[in-house]
Amino acid sequence: RKEVEQDPGPFNVPEGATVAFNCTYSNSASQSFFWYRQDCRKEPKLLMSVYSSGNEDGRFTAQLNRASQYISLLIRDSKLSDSATYLCVVNPYSGGGADGLTFGKGTHLIIQP
């Protein structure tokens, strides 16, 4: 059925480095895509929506590849505060429907000093 796959990590990255990770989705009809950030024992917080043309917000860039059915998140000049779990979220339905938002299990990122 619907599926969103992420590499769970952890990815250990030195401070200042650039890191990127992908998320694949199985439903080619998926219409909207998001990246959320979740800190340990906290709620997910919206990081950015992913548009067809890509989206950039400061050090963060999200891209969508419909042909290969994946979205990516790139973090430049990583900070210690970027350490978190990054959740990929996909909505496969254009007409709405609550079970449209499918969450990946997350990629755990650790920025090391």
Partner 1 sequence: DGGITQSPKYLFRKEGQNVTLSCEQNLNHDAMYWYRQDPGQGLRLIYYSQIVNDFQKGDIAEGYSVSREKKESFPLTVTSAQKNPTAFYLCASSIKMGQYEQYFGPGTRLTVT
Chain contacts with partner 1 (rule: CB under 8 A): 4, 8, 31-32, 34, 41-46, 49, 87, 91, 93-101, 103-106
Shortest Cβ distance from residue 14 to partner 1 (Å)? 26
Report whether 109 contacts 83 (CB < 8 A). yes
Measured from the CB atom, the residue of 14 and 97 that comes closer to partner 1 is 97
Question: Which residue type does 81 have?
Answer: S
Measured from the CB atom, the residue of 78 and 100 that comes closer to partner 1 is 100
Shortest Cβ distance from residue 86 to partner 1 (Å)? 12
Measured from the CB atom, the residue of 58 and 95 that comes closer to partner 1 is 95
Measured from the CB atom, the residue of 4 and 75 that comes closer to partner 1 is 4
Report whether 102 contacts 4 (CB < 8 A). yes
Shortest Cβ distance from residue 105 to partner 1 (Å)? 4
Shortest Cβ distance from residue 7 to partner 1 (Å)? 14
